Amino acid sequence: MIKHGPVAREGWPFIAIFVLVALAGTWFAVARPLMVILWLLAIWCVWFFRDPDRVTPQGEGLVIAPADGRVVAVEVVPEAPLSGLPARKFSIFMNVFSVHVNRFPIPGRVEKVSYHAGSFLNAALDKASSENERMEVLARTASGVPITFVQVAGLVARRIVCYLQPGQSLAAGDRFGLIRFGSRVDVYLPLTARVELTIGDATVAGETVIARL
């Protein structure tokens, strides 16, 4: 289990920078509108890196949303990353106001983790799944069902954080990483899975059931 507080640990350097800039603006008595903007940006930075507790539903065969955001794609693809199996891709887009801490979607074991360098296209675009910088993870449930999920960097995202290593076993809803400043997470489900949501629906990481295996 990853130790955590109300704010993701990766956010503290950024929060410190934003707060120092706001303090400098206050100290040097910059124009009031600019000072207000600097402090609003500092507050936003804290809000961006928030890491709230979540209550994860329990039940056999549940697949839980790995990210906060909105569903932007539900489609069948010929090959899922890492597994190579036909799958139903389920994509969640996170904007700059979403919680960006990612959660493990199933109770299971990590089999493979693969990083790919790439572009920084708008993460809402479908081609971002194959062209953007991304971290692919293949996990398997206790019953042997493979699930691939992929952290995809976005237009302003420049850092994917993933704590996972092959061989780790996690519970559904466990924290496994984050992506900074706007991004998406793709989940590749077996074709037999029953998807519970559709395009435009909102998700809450660690709480929303997106499918049943």
Q: Which positions are annotated as active-site residues?
A: 183
CB-CB contact of 54 with 173 (8 Å): yes
Location of structure tokens 């961006």: 48
CA-CA distance, 196 to 177, in Å (whole number)?
24
Question: In the β-sheet with 194-195, what is the strand arrangement from edge to edge?
Answer: 62-64, 209-212, 194-195
